[in-house]
Amino acid sequence: MKLMAIDSSGLTASVAILEDNKMVADYSVNYKKTHSQTLVPMLDEITKMTETDLKTIDAIAISKGPGSFTGLRIGSSTAKGLGLALNIPIVEVATTDALAYNLYGTERIVCPIMDARREQVYTGLYEFVKCGQSLEMNTLLESVAIGVEDIMNQINELGKPVVFLGDAVSVYKDKLEELVKVDYILAPAHMSHQRAASVAAIGARKLANGQSIPASEHVPEYLRLSQAERERNEAMNGK
Amino acid sequence: MSDVLILAIESSCDETAAAVVKNGREVLSNVISSQIDLHTLYGGVVPEIASRKHTEQINQVIEEALKEANVTLNDITAIAVTYGPGLVGALLVGVSAAKAISFARKIPLVGVHHIEGHISANFIENKELEPPFVCLVVSGGHSHLVKVMDYGKYEILGRTRDDAAGEAFDKVARAIGLGYPGGPKIDRVSKEGNPDAIKFPRAKVEGSVYDFSFSGLKSAVLNYLNSCEMKGETIVQADVAASFQKAVVDVLVEHSMQAVSEAGMKKFAIAGGVASNSALRAALSKACEENGIEFFHPSPILCTDNAAMIGCAGYYEYLAGNISNYDLNAVPALKLGER
């Protein structure tokens, strides 16, 4: 089974190719260029470098969100185009799930936080539990857009050691210090950003479980309405 | 030479569109998924909503275009995609999908300028039309007077300094209670009105004869509405619409005819959404006839945003060897004639 994976939900553009248990390629770039300029050239590069015949790819795994709206759309439209052109399905993986999976092995609660602006973060809560000879990732809180203080309260209530990762860690460093009452650590640079390799690893398991969809049906999961819709709803509710 | 089949994709504003075009001028399919009902709720196009809808629709539209043309990606020579100007989030959907398909199937990619597409819509239904000619491009986002010197070679003679013509239609339509989209609604209502009922200004731009300015006209309409209200006079919607429309049409016709004559050309074409306006068509047709100029115009379906026109423009860019790389980006303010 061969998967091509894409994550462009944040500042990092990341692509990977996973063949069974082998991560054939794993390529991330966090540079000032836009995902539109980097993503397909990166796919081209790993494909050439690994002499991958695109016809042998079984599915595209995509980091479906939450994240930057534009970033998600570049990734999703690319994945959809690949799915259409290669006639293969898409496997959707929540961005926060994939981020948490970067920290496979930790005994701490894993809390990815991505900056969602307006004093909110895209986040979730996860833990790894032993299951035979491997670990299962349990979801304690599914992907959500909530206030920084809100998620910190939930963490304090759990009362267990935590590890934070994601681009909002640097944004809310002081807030964490102020609000988090449990023992916490911050993930190091090589684990803290979105990695398509993690998307691929989760995606492979979902694909094996039959959790794929036709490429035409995939849409990003923004977790938020557009500003215009929000304001319209508010206006209508206010009346 | 074997047939050149272009798969074209367009998502610069509020229509998700794909088409298959054979040898530049034969449209095998032209699929348009319009979002207009969604945006009507907001009185205009909401970029984020448009971008989301494009992402949802893009595959269905492309698949439909291939199916309707009775071809597969194996038959496609090149993929043409609009990469500007337009709404950046919207453009990115088409550009990303086009690049992915190009990459996955090793089909050459051609980035196309949206206005170049509109101009090229004229080639589709007028098989005999060849450059050079002068073209007036008028839509919700653009008002350009362009000298088409050759395929892919343009000189911009005039442009709007403020609102695009279509934008003025939308704003005035909103002000007189017609709603969005303004163009077709004003066109329809004007047929019942007197175009000489109210004297609205015909704006000139100091120092540049071919440039347009429509925001002054829009203000004049708003002022007129206000003053009627103050005086307690009834506003005759149809008369306001017809008089406003006439003011726009007069300026467009005058500038166009002057440009054709000074360029020493005998052919003139129109393009863009506002090119379906019946009063504009009638006036231009009459003016061209009086001046011995041959008048070209696409049918309404090719005036609105569509991918067939992008396929046509893409064909000539492909023949010229203008192949894009995988780092092709959306360029929201792309200038005509720049790559």
A41 and B41 within 8 Å at the Cβ level: the answer is no
pLDDT reported for residue B96: 98
Residue B127 carries which DSSP code? T
Query: CA nearest B269: which of B161, B131, B153, B86?
Result: B131
B96 and A70 within 8 Å at the Cβ level: the answer is no
Neighbour tally for B185: CB within 10 Å: 20
Within a domain: B124 = no
* Phi, psi dihedral angles at B7 (to 5 degrees): -95, 120
Distance CA A233, CA A88 (A): 38
Task: Give mean pLDDT, residues A121-138.
Answer: 96
pLDDT reported for residue B172: 95
Query: CA nearest B317: which of B111, B128, B149, B10?
Result: B111
pTM over 0.90? The answer is yes
Distance CA B182, CA B168 (A): 8
Q: Work out the pLDDT band at B337, boundaries 50, 70, 90.
A: confident
* Phi, psi dihedral angles at B266 (to 5 degrees): -115, 0
Which of B92, B95, B102, B324 to probe the A interface (max A CBs under 10 A)?
B92
User: Do residues B165 and B84 share a domain?
Assistant: no
User: Do residues B190 and B73 share a domain?
Assistant: no
Largest CA distance in chain A: 61
pLDDT reported for residue B1: 67
The total number of structural domains in chain B stands at: 2
Distance from the Cα of A56 to chain B's closest Cα (Å) equals 12
CA angle A61, B84, A7 (to 5 degrees): 15
Instruction: Report pLDDT digits (tens) over B128-148.
Output: 999 999 999 998 888 999 999
Angle of the A69-86 helix axis to the A35-49 helix axis, nearest 10: 40
pLDDT reported for residue A76: 98
Q: Residue B68 maps to which CATH number?
A: 3.30.420.40
- The class (CATH top level) of A96-192 is alpha beta
Q: CA torsion, points A60, A61, A65, A70, in degrees to nearest 10?
A: -40
Estimate to the nearest angstrom the gap between the alpha carbon of B155 and the chain centroid.
Answer: 17
User: Do residues B80 and B144 share a domain?
Assistant: no
Which of B326, B328, B329, B334 to probe the A interface (max A CBs under 10 A)?
B326
pLDDT reported for residue A239: 54
Q: Work out the pLDDT band at B181, boundaries 50, 70, 90.
A: confident
Q: Chain A contacts of B93, Cβ < 8 Å? A: 73, 77
pLDDT reported for residue A187: 98
User: Quick check: B329 contacting A, CB < 8 Å?
Assistant: yes
pLDDT above 90 for B156: yes
Coil, strand or helix at B13: coil
Within a domain: B334 = no
The mean pLDDT of chain B is 95
Angle of the A69-86 helix axis to the B47-68 helix axis, nearest 10: 10
User: Quick check: A226 contacting B, CB < 8 Å?
Assistant: yes
Task: Give mean pLDDT, residues B93-104.
Answer: 98
Domain ranges of chain A: 2-95+194-225, 96-192
Which of A15, A36, A47, A87 to probe the B interface (max B CBs under 10 A)?
A36
Which of B46, B88, B93 faces A226 most closely, judged by CB atoms?
Answer: B46
Within a domain: B333 = no
pLDDT above 90 for B339: no
Reported residue count of chain A is 239
What token pair was written down for B7?
A: 């798969």
User: Do residues B173 and B112 share a domain?
Assistant: no
Q: How far is CA A87 from CA A3, A54, A79, A146, B25, in A?
A: 13, 11, 11, 37, 29
Q: Which domain holds residue B84?
A: 5-119+303-319
Quote the CATH superfamily of domain A2-95+194-225: ATPase, nucleotide binding domain (3.30.420.40)
pLDDT above 90 for A237: no
User: Do residues B268 and B149 share a domain?
Assistant: yes
User: Do residues B311 and B276 share a domain?
Assistant: no
User: Do residues B179 and B61 share a domain?
Assistant: no
Q: Which residue of B has its CA nearest to A54?
A: B104
User: Do residues B135 and B37 share a domain?
Assistant: no
Estimate to the nearest angstrom the gap between the alpha carbon of B249 and the chain centroid.
Answer: 16
Query: CA nearest B102: which of B8, B23, B12, B31?
Result: B8
Peptide bond into B85 cis (omega under 30): yes
B330 and A36 within 8 Å at the Cβ level: the answer is yes
| Interacting residues of A124 by C-beta distance below 8 A, sequence separation 6+ | A94, A96, A97, A100, A111, A112, A139, A140, A141, A142, A143, A144
DSSP A35-93: HHHHHHHHHHHHHHHTT--GGG--EEEEE--SS-HHHHHHHHHHHHHHHHHHT--EEEE
Share of chain A above pLDDT 70, in %: 100
H or E stretch including A179? helix A173-179
User: Do residues B174 and B213 share a domain?
Assistant: yes
Q: Decide if A2-95+194-225 and A96-192 have a common fold.
A: yes
Q: How far is CA A92 from CA A50, A204, A212, B148, in A?
A: 24, 11, 7, 47
Instruction: Report pLDDT digits (tens) over B257-287.
Output: 999 999 999 999 999 999 999 999 999 999 9
